[in-house]
Amino acid sequence: MDIGVLLPTGKAQWGTTGDPRELIAFAREAEESGYSSLFANDSLLSPRIETLTMLAALAPVTERVTLGTGALLPFLRRPVQAAQALASIDLLSGGRLAVAVGAGFPGRFGRPLYELSEVPWARRFARLDETVALWRALWNGETSFHGEFHDLAAIPAATAPFRPGGPPVWLGGATPAALARTGRLYDGWLPYPPDPADYRSGLAEVHRAAADAGRRAADITPALFISVRIDENVADGREAMDAYAHANYGMPLAELEKIQAVVTGAPEDVLAGLARYRDAGARHIVARLGALDLPSQREQLRRFAALLPELT
């Protein structure tokens, strides 16, 4: 498996006295420690370093790791401008960008973001798919695009990405409709189901939809977004992860783990939890480290790095 880490770009992960400029050193340490990828999250409703700015800063100071969005919310940006920014990061990184996208979901991180962006909530999934299609058209050098939401003629030549056709685009989400759309249209799948059995069945649906669309299952990266905390034992790990859940989501761990994948405990507990997803078909893990300041984030980064030989 490829093992990546979600960068602690949110202020809740820096701590009250943290300096976000330390994220550059954090990323370099992750690459040197053997991680396969570095992902950055996206939002407007919590203080954080903007996703594409973070990845652009990392492009020239890293050499090997994939730089990913987890997940980018395209409706927050004008689509042509976003295509240009993504192509630029792919170019500057030498073709190391992976773009996981989502449409948001009801609640705090859904409809309010659409209102701030002055984009309709209705038909958001169709808008997302069309935006990705527009990106790909621009990355392929096309100068016009005609869709339901975007009707653009005589588009000036855009920056070409490093890779012909542009970076791979993954989809988050695990509803039946999201599984079908992933199989038909996307290059990867980045969900966070709390039960590995749901991951297995969801991946089977993705592969079925891909086959129906004449695509190969091997062309779709099966990834997983999961919160990880390594501690002395399960009880200590859950206590720390509960504080993390409250700080980041305003909810206890008991509620968070009903909707998101979480593994915690001693190293052997974490290995066992991740192995269940590996056995269910996951091949690229993106781990969000459960720590609330940058020194603790780096400690978790090192503890998790010690497990990489047994996972990869």
The domain limits of the chain are 2-311
Q: How far apart are CA 259 and CA 119, in angstroms?
A: 26
Question: CA dist 218 to 23, 188, 206, 283, Å?
Answer: 33, 10, 11, 11
The pLDDT assigned to 54 comes to 97
Task: Record the tokens describing residue 202, joined without a space.
Answer: 């969801």
Radius of gyration of the chain (CA): 19
DSSP element (H, E) containing 189: strand 188-189
The pLDDT assigned to 109 comes to 60
| In 77-124, beta strands by DSSP E | 97-101
Q: Enter the pTM of the model.
A: 0.95
The pLDDT assigned to 83 comes to 97
If one counts every other C-beta atom within 10 angstroms of the C-beta of residue 129, the result is 20
As a dihedral over the C-alpha atoms of residue 71, residue 256, residue 263, residue 238, rounded to 10 degrees, the angle is 140
As a dihedral over the C-alpha atoms of residue 278, residue 12, residue 38, residue 175, rounded to 10 degrees, the angle is 50
Each residue's pLDDT, cut to its tens digit, for the chain (312 residues) gives 999 999 999 988 887 788 999 999 999 999 999 999 999 999 876 789 999 999 999 999 999 999 999 999 998 899 999 999 999 999 999 999 999 999 876 666 667 776 777 788 789 999 999 999 999 999 999 999 999 999 999 898 889 999 999 999 999 999 999 999 999 999 999 999 999 999 999 999 999 999 999 999 999 999 999 999 999 999 999 999 999 999 988 899 999 999 999 999 999 999 999 999 999 999 999 999 999 999 999 999 999 999 999 998
Note the helical H segments in 149-259.
176-185, 196-212, 234-249, 253-256
CB 231 within 8 A of CB 241: no
If one counts every other C-beta atom within 10 angstroms of the C-beta of residue 64, the result is 12
DSSP helix/strand/coil, 93: coil
The pLDDT assigned to 104 comes to 79
The pLDDT assigned to 106 comes to 61
Q: How far apart are CA 169 and CA 105, in angstroms?
A: 19
DSSP element (H, E) containing 223: strand 221-230
Pairing of strands 2-6, 188-189: unpaired
The pLDDT assigned to 113 comes to 77
Question: CA dist 253 to 106, 228, 242, Å?
Answer: 20, 12, 5
The pLDDT assigned to 290 comes to 97
Q: Which CATH number fits domain 2-311: 3.40.50.10790, 3.20.20.30, 1.20.120.790, 3.40.50.2300?
A: 3.20.20.30
Of 177, 184, 157, 192, residue with least CA distance to 83: 157
